């Protein structure tokens, strides 16, 4: 019996088959590396050129300096444009989060006539091209003799961000266990106490995520802002105007700082969720 085992030949896999198996096992890794490289090349370029001793033009690398980070407001109008974007972003986030959360609770928790139509109308701003929405809102403002500027831009951003807030918060509401609220009411909590002590804390992560999404959409928007801002300069408009002669290194500093701030918020959120889990 042992002699037969020794004489038996072990089948060998051809070289081409082994290569195919190795590629099949590691293809997803190659795809992930390629995808992340493709995504982060612009971020790496922005971060690298924030240290460029560029002077007036930031198209060619001229030398390393820390002066741009020490004086991020060195380029004309860059900090005023950033301040306008932050103000518009905070106002749009505040109002769109409140209105969107109330709409999400109404659609997600109550049955009423026109609920399906309301769901459809909520998705329309998300599906409508921004250039159409921006031009439509500008026409509406001009009909009411409202000149483009700060507050028309805020109103336009609120209209744009509400849909994203509703969708995000409604998804969180749909995942809640209604038995938790029923248990609170069985323990003699009224509707307000149940909402404050049970429902709101459970929905709070969804509301926070919706608020962050609304702020990022508002801060990043260019098309709707360009239609409704008039002479007001926001950070995206400043970047667009400066692109022809080379975006100032100070703008790269601000963009890099915003990226690392967003990355920090995401990492902290993940650590908090892991600790809770």
> Are residues 61 and 80 both part of a single domain?
no
- Give pLDDT, residue 217: 93
- Give pLDDT, residue 9: 54
> Are residues 111 and 158 both part of a single domain?
yes
Confidence of residue 28 (pLDDT cuts 50, 70, 90): confident
Confidence of residue 15 (pLDDT cuts 50, 70, 90): low
> Are residues 184 and 133 both part of a single domain?
yes
> Can you read off the two tokens belonging to residue 191?
């509707």
End-of-domain residue from the set 68, 84, 102: 68
Cα–Cα distance measured from residue 60 to residue 51, given in angstroms and rounded to the nearest whole number: 12
pLDDT tops 60 at residue 270 = yes
- What percent of the residues of the chain are helix, what percent strand, and what percent coil, each to the nearest 5? 75, 0, 25
Tell me whether residue 259 is in a domain: no
Domain that holds residue 233: 76-247
CB atoms within 10 A of CB 101: 24
Cα–Cα distance measured from residue 213 to residue 220, given in angstroms and rounded to the nearest whole number: 11
Tell me whether residue 263 is in a domain: no
Helix spans in 12-77 (H): 15-49, 67-70
- Give pLDDT, residue 160: 92
Residue pair 236/221 in contact (Cβ under 8 Å)? The answer is: yes
The whole-number average pLDDT for the span 229-239 is 92
- Give pLDDT, residue 194: 85
Mean pLDDT, the chain, whole residue set:
86
> Are residues 181 and 163 both part of a single domain?
yes
> Are residues 16 and 147 both part of a single domain?
no
> Are residues 64 and 121 both part of a single domain?
no
> Can you read off the two tokens belonging to residue 35?
């995808």
Whichever domain contains 220, its CATH number is 1.10.3720.10
Tell me whether residue 170 is in a domain: yes
pLDDT tops 80 at residue 164 = yes
Indicate the angle between helix axes 78-109 and 150-174, nearest 10 degrees: 40
> Are residues 81 and 54 both part of a single domain?
no
> Are residues 84 and 59 both part of a single domain?
no
Confidence of residue 228 (pLDDT cuts 50, 70, 90): very high
pTM over 0.75: yes
Confidence of residue 179 (pLDDT cuts 50, 70, 90): confident
Residue pair 125/159 in contact (Cβ under 8 Å)? The answer is: yes
Looking at the structure of the chain, the number of domains it has is 2
> Are residues 233 and 175 both part of a single domain?
yes
- Give pLDDT, residue 87: 96
Q: pLDDT tens across 113-130, in order?
A: 878 888 888 888 888 889
Tell me whether residue 276 is in a domain: no
DSSP per-residue codes, 245-272: T---HHHHHHHHHHHHHHHHHHHHHHHH
Residue where the block lists tokens 């986030």: 93
CB atoms within 10 A of CB 72: 21
Burial class (CB in 10 A: 0-12, 13-18, 19+), 149: middle
Cα–Cα distance measured from residue 150 to residue 233, given in angstroms and rounded to the nearest whole number: 9
Q: What percent of the chain has pLDDT over 70?
A: 93
Residue pair 150/84 in contact (Cβ under 8 Å)? The answer is: yes
- Give pLDDT, residue 26: 80
> Are residues 178 and 227 both part of a single domain?
yes
Q: What percent of the chain has pLDDT over 90?
A: 37
């Amino acid at each position: 019996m042992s002699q037969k085992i020794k004489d038996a030949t072990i089948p060998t896999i051809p070289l081409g088959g082994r290569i195919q198996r190795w590629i099949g096992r590691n293809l997803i890794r190659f795809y992930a590396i390629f995808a992340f490289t493709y995504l982060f090349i612009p971020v790496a370029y922005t971060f690298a050129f924030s240290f460029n001793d560029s002077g007036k033009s930031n198209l060619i690398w001229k030398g390393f300096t820390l002066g741009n980070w020490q004086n991020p407001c060195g380029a004309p109008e860059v900090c005023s444009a950033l301040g306008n974007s932050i103000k518009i972003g905070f106002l749009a986030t505040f109002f769109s989060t409140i209105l969107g959360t109330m709409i999400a609770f109404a659609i997600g928790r109550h049955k009423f006539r026109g609920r399906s139509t309301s769901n459809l109308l909520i998705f329309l701003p998300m599906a409508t091209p921004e250039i159409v929405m921006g031009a439509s809102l500008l026409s509406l403002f001009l009909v009411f003799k409202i000149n483009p500027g700060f507050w028309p831009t805020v109103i336009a951003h609120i209209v744009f961000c509400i849909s994203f807030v509703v969708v995000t918060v409604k998804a969180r509401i749909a995942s809640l266990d209604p038995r938790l609220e029923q248990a609170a009411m069985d323990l003699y909590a009224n509707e307000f106490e149940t909402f404050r002590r049970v429902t709101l804390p459970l929905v709070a992560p969804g509301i926070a995520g919706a608020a962050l999404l609304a702020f990022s959409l508002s801060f990043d928007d260019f098309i709707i802002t360009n239609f409704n801002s008039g002479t007001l300069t926001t950070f995206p408009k400043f970047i667009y105007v400066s692109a022809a002669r080379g975006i100032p290194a100070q703008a790269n500093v601000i963009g890099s700082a915003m990226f690392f701030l967003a990355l920090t918020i995401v990492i902290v959120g993940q650590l908090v969720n892991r600790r809770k889990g």
